[in-house]
Structure 1
Amino acid sequence: MSLLPTLKTQRLILRPLSPNDAVSIQNLASDRQIADTTISIPHPYPDGEAERYISKQIAEQKTGHAVTFAIELKAESKLIGISELREIETEHCVAELSYWLAVTAWGKGYMSEALKPVLNFGFESLSLNKIYAYHMARNPASGKVLQKNGFQPEGLLRQRVRKWGKFEDVRLLSLLHQEWKSKDI
């Protein structure tokens, strides 16, 4: 996969991850509320985890299995979250969308804004036919972000993940290339 481009929106810059992002990721992902509303971010967030994550994502991009964008506030050049397309299957033209946002950035429309260029990149540059995403059933705000971007419900995966010793239901949504192309999302 060629170098990941930098994508811009009115308020945001989505750029490739850098080892320099480790301190910001460590600080933001250490917030218990981030871990509580995501499927796979641990709490406490271990020291060195941000460096490991960045190295893994850069390696996954080189092999074509994932692309990860750091989300920055354009006005402040401040990292506020991550959006990635992972589990990219070129044979079936499908990938999983994953994302998280700093708690201080919640409720401001940043993630809905960030997903538009990420979806465009997935469908146009990666030639994907389907992008799917999961969210914990008790996190309906994440589902609203997906639906605002055209995702359609596929189903409820009962007790799909275990979070802090408790089994959690997870919702699966997806967006097809033809749906994305036919709508002004």
Structure 2
Amino acid sequence: MGVSIQLETDRLHLKPYSVSQAEKVSELAGDKEVAATTFVPHPYTVDHAMDWIRSHEKWFDEGKAYPMAMTLKESGDLVGTMTLRIDTRHNKGELAYWVGRPFWNQGLATEAAERMIEYGFEVLNLQRIWAAALSGNPGSTKVMQKAGLSYEGTLRKDLLHRDEYKDIDVYGLIRDDLHHS
């Protein structure tokens, strides 16, 4: 992949995926518990993961999305994904992420989210960064709050998720908020 973006946090490397990670992506993202609280399709096969990873270079090149593999610095283990999807027309980004079940409740998503938010404002010069989570997903809500996003509202029955309409909670942060905190 011709993309050289690499970010780091205390415990993580955030960098573009390689196809060699497809099997691990399928294993982690394909977990029923991960699928229950995210928008990752289930079942999630290695072929799904390969197709997804192969589409990244174009997204990076076009500045549409920055899907980053979250890996532990110490072991190189894949933890999950932290993506910033860009809406160039409105100069905003949407954070989207999933974390493999073995890595839940360790603060890793928050660490990665904070770093992606910093990248979005400082490097991509975004005006706004937002994220949404299924209302029944307190883990994701906690990540958004700890990463500095504020609750903006609930969109009722906004998404069809696993054949059921679900509410989503929306969180956001605007550039002006950074100077007032």
Q: Do residues 30 (structure 1) and 17 (structure 2) align?
A: no
Alpha-carbon RMSD: 1.4
Residues 156-176 of structure 1 deviation map (CA, whole Å, 9 limit, x = unaligned): 111111222111111111111
- CA shift at 1:47, angstroms? 4.1
Correspondence for 1:162 among 154, 160, 171: 160
Aligned position for 2:177? 179
Matched residues in 1 for 2:24 and 2:45: separation? 14
Aligned position for 2:124? 126
Superposed counterparts of 1:72-151, under 5 Å = 72-86=71-85, 88-151=86-149
Distance verdict in 2 for CA 1:61–1:141, change over 3 Å:
same
Aligned position for 2:14? 14
- CA shift at 1:104, angstroms? 0.7
Question: Where in structure 1 are there 5+ consecutive unaligned residues?
Answer: none
Matched residues in 2 for 1:96 and 1:79: separation? 22
Matched residues in 2 for 1:4 and 1:137: separation? 35
- CA shift at 1:63, angstroms? 1.0
Q: What amino acid sits opposite 1:61 in the alignment? A: F
> Would you say the 8 A contact 1:94–1:130 is kept in 2?
yes
Residue 42 of structure 2 aligns to a residue in which SS?
coil
Aligned position for 1:61? 60
- CA shift at 1:91, angstroms? 3.2
Q: What amino acid sits opposite 1:29 in the alignment? A: A
> Would you say the 8 A contact 2:25–2:46 is kept in 1?
no
Residue 10 of structure 2 aligns to a residue in which SS?
coil
Matched residues in 1 for 2:18 and 2:45: separation? 19
TM-score by length of 1: 0.92
Runs of at least 4 residues off by over 6 Å:
none
Matched residues in 2 for 1:107 and 1:142: separation? 10
Question: Where in structure 2 are there 5+ consecutive unaligned residues?
Answer: none
Q: What amino acid sits opposite 1:24 in the alignment? A: K
Matched residues in 1 for 2:4 and 2:118: separation? 13
How many percent identity over aligned positions?
34
Q: What amino acid sits opposite 2:62 in the alignment? A: T
- CA shift at 1:178, angstroms? 2.1
Distance verdict in 2 for CA 1:132–1:4, change over 3 Å:
farther
- CA shift at 1:58, angstroms? 2.1
Distance verdict in 2 for CA 1:4–1:169, change over 3 Å:
farther
